[in-house]
Amino acid sequence: MLKEILSGSDCAKCRVCCIFDRTDCWEIPLVEPSLAEYIKREYPDVKLEKRGNNSVFISEFDENGLTVCPMLTEQGCKLGDKKPFDCMIWPFRVMRKENLLLLTLSPVCETVSKLPVKRISDFAAKIADTVYKAAENDPEMVKDYIEGYPVFAVRTAAEKPE
């Protein structure tokens, strides 16, 4: 989805989106049920834990307090085009602030953050409908807003699920 603004080679060099510390565990991608079944069948050694209607990857933290997505290889993601939606849109995130859904950009992705704001904004406008529809279909993918994340699109949200 992001190939228009982020090359596969730039993405593969960085990998910051596939490595998590204890403070950014909220970024570990949600795995939709059909994808979870595929992973269980094709990669039986990969551990998944149920989270609501979805699952998340489980891996141990190392001595530095980091955990790496079990799907990450030297060549990139084992899942290719089948990766979780959270991964397909990263560094964009759908976040909630009060009754608004915000399409934000993680400041951690240096490659995209260095692009001209107009280019990011135009791209965000292009993907906004797709991303908001996915968030509507799977409200668990919506994260709480974190100050400092630039906002590139805004929609009124439905009531937050209990």
Cβ atoms of 90 and 16 closer than 8 Å:
no
CA 106, CA 130: separation in Å to the nearest integer?
18
Phi, psi at 61, each rounded to 5°: -80, 140
**pTM of the entire structure?**
0.85
E strands present in 36-108: 47-51, 54-58, 66-68, 72-73, 76-77, 92-97, 100-105
3-state secondary structure of 80: helix
Q: In this predicted model, what pLDDT tens digit does every residue of 29-59 receive, in sequence order?
A: 999 999 999 999 999 999 999 989 999 998 8
Closest CA to 30 of 49, 14, 46, 6: 49
Closest CA to 123 of 92, 150, 77: 92
Domain ranges of the chain: 8-156
pLDDT value at position 162?
A: 45
The residue type found at 132 is Y
Buried b / exposed e across 39-53, counting CB within 10 Å, b at 16+? beeeeeebebeeeee
Q: DSSP state, 83?
A: S
Q: DSSP state, 5?
A: T
Q: In this predicted model, what pLDDT tens digit does every residue of 76-128 receive, in sequence order?
A: 889 988 999 999 999 999 999 999 999 999 988 888 988 999 999 999 999 99
